[in-house]
Amino acid sequence: MGPSMPPAAPVTWPLLKAPPTPLPQRRLGPFSVSAIGLGCMNICHAYGEPVPEADAARLLLAALDAGVTHFDTAALYGFGVSETLLGKYLGVHRDRFVLASKCGMTGVDLRGDGKRVRVIDGRPATLKATCDEALQRLRTDVIDLYYLHRWDKRVPIEDSVGALADLVRAGKVRAIGLSEVSAATLRRAHAVHPIAAVQSEYSLWTRNPEIAVLDACRELGVAFVAFSPLGRGVFTSSPPDPQALHAQDIRRAMPRFAPEHWPRNLALRARLVALAEAVGCTPAQLALAWVLTRGEHVHALPGTTRVTHLLEDLGALNVRPGADVLAQLDAVFAPGAPSGARYNAQGEDEVDTERF
């Protein structure tokens, strides 16, 4: 069993919805999971210094105790650290949740000096080797949902998906997913092996999936998993200060946080805050509730490092914004309203998603 954890302090935001019990469920491929899952990147990757291991353990176990049954990690996150933490603290509870991880984008020591560089590699042999390593770190003999983290455009999608299908036949993976792909690529992949889920960035200020992928997923019976549904922290009660971000924070390279774009985006956030106050919830809860209204096949996958924020996020499942509020959100955050691209040039080149 995992370590005993003290109760979390309450969130001080005055309009806080508590999580429902039990959490509402949605279909994720062959599985039924909580409509809001937990993305496990933040605990060790991308947003500054990794949190202390005890804090990561507290978060993971609190999520499980709160009824979260969808945990999402990747080989890339902390170059294996996130998978290792899930294996260490949730491995003994393996029958209580659906485990998702990703391959195809990992850290490689290219110079032989111990410093890893992020590499996209979708070759079949690489994907299979990454899976074997992940199974060891996760302390399990099967991964429920295994995503291709990024499509390696040097490798036909059919070849990469074929390798994942081999893992299904070998009993190492139960279902296959894709991340940050277009509707056309999804259809090509689905013709090789059924795709259970597509995971892409989707939020009030990143609505690219509405161009084609959301509808393609609905048509094919594929779940859509929205990562960064809180706009990389912008829609939380304490938005980031771009000037104070950690030197290793990936948002430093994202145009929307640059000085020439940030004031306009902060003004958009203020409109969200006002609407949340009118609804009677926090801005994060309204942003998550909006995502979940986009279709019964849509899942929200926020990430956090704090138990209080986790419980706040789950409270979004008790928020029911009316049609007028949803219409106002759609208008305020219409495509083109946010200032700046979501990724820099390199990041945009690495994804396969449609763009406005």
| Catalytic residue from among 47, 77, 89, 343 | 77
**End-to-end Cα separation, the chain, in angstroms:** 48
**202 labelled catalytic:** no
Q: Are 178 and 189 in contact (CB under 8 A)?
A: yes
Q: How many CB atoms lie within 10 A of CB 194?
A: 16
- The amino acid occupying position 27 is R
Q: Look at residue 114 and give its three-state secondary structure.
A: coil
Kindly state the DSSP code that residue 121 receives in the 8-state scheme.
-
Q: Look at residue 116 and give its three-state secondary structure.
A: coil
291: buried, middle or exposed (CB in 10 Å: 19+, 13-18, 0-12)? buried
| φ and ψ at residue 145, rounded to 5 degrees | -135, 120
The Cα 147–Cα 252 span in angstroms is 26
The Cα 173–Cα 131 span in angstroms is 9
Alpha helices in 193-316 (DSSP H): 213-220, 262-279, 283-292, 307-314
Q: Residue 105: name the closest of 124, 119, 116, 125 by CA.
A: 119
Active site residues: 77
